[in-house]
Amino acid sequence: AINMRTLVSAQSALRMKMFFYGICPRISAGRNTCGRGAFFNISVPEEDPGIKHDSAYNRDLAMALGIRDYQGTFFLPSDRDASEKVAALLRQASGSLVGAHPGGAPSRRWPADNFIRSLNLIHEREPVTVVLTGSSDERSLLSSIARSIKAPVINCAGELSIGELIALIQRCAVYISNDTSVMHIAAVAGVPQIALMGPGDLTRFDPRVLSRHAFVFYTKAACAPCNKVICRDLRCLRSILPEDVARQACILLGEKKEQLNSI
């Protein structure tokens, strides 16, 4: 049994220890975060906050398990059915496809009004169709944003499997995302992306480590990084201006067009 997550507290380490005790694996492996994972048979040292990218800790764990030819490369599986569903979903889309993921943990969410403002500014400069992605729990958030966007909108909240989400992101000319799992999917997919980093650990989760097509907006706050789920301040995210995000998105859209024209 392998745990590939940070043990962020003594309490989380105890829960993981009891879980492993319950399933009783022949060999247990995981991250020994600040000494909290000493119960693993095979462990790799990890700091909190981290001093290197999360993928590097996974590489260390893979090598500790004996995988000596690990190259540290990533790929996304292709799913023909998922691709066909996404193609049908986007059949009526016109212009460039701009993806946006406004959800995630509340402390990682760029304000919804900022998403609306930036997407409307992009639409004023470029003919685009906006596709919104999110979980079923985020339907209300995405619906409120969709109603205020002037461009054609496709709201996919709670409608996509993981395979379909991957296929959709791969179709985007630009993908704008909060600091969530989809940010990393876009990075591995090599899609031009704008990552809105708030209180998360940039050293640990910078998508530019995985992609040369990623652009990151990040302002280091005195209180960051933090593991809060909810924050009433959000000074780290509020410092990111919609005008700057829209300007960068248009730059990426222009670069994408140049690449297509050169083919």
pLDDT single digits (tens) 97-128: 999 999 999 999 999 999 999 999 999 999 99
Q: Residue 73 has what pLDDT?
A: 75
pLDDT at 148 over 90: yes
Segment 75-80 mean pLDDT: 86
Q: What is the mean pLDDT of the chain?
A: 93
Segment 160-179 mean pLDDT: 96
Query: How far apart are the C-alpha atoms of 17 and 15, rounded to whole Å?
Result: 5
Query: How far apart are the C-alpha atoms of 61 and 133, rounded to whole Å?
Result: 32
| pLDDT band per the 50, 70, 90 thresholds, residue 134 | very high
| pLDDT band per the 50, 70, 90 thresholds, residue 69 | confident
Q: Over the chain, what HEC string results?
A: CEECCCCCCHHHHHHHHHHHHHHCCCCCEEEEECCCCCCCCEEEEECCCCCCCHHHHHHHHHHHCCCCCCCCCCCCCCCHHHHHHHHHHCCCCCCEEEEEECCCCHHHCCCHHHHHHHHHHHHHHCCEEEEECCCHHHHHHHHHHHHCCCCCEEECCCCCCHHHHHHHHHHCCEEEEECCHHHHHHHHHCCCEEEECCCCCHHHHCHHHCCCCEEEECCCCCCCCCCCCCCCCCHHHHCCCHHHHHHHHHHHHHHHHHHHHCC
Segment 23-42 mean pLDDT: 95
| pLDDT band per the 50, 70, 90 thresholds, residue 258 | low
Q: Which of 90-94, 173-177, 214-218 has the lowest mean pLDDT?
A: 90-94
| pLDDT band per the 50, 70, 90 thresholds, residue 261 | low
| pLDDT band per the 50, 70, 90 thresholds, residue 226 | confident
pLDDT single digits (tens) 4-17: 999 989 999 999 99
Q: Residue 217 has what pLDDT?
A: 97
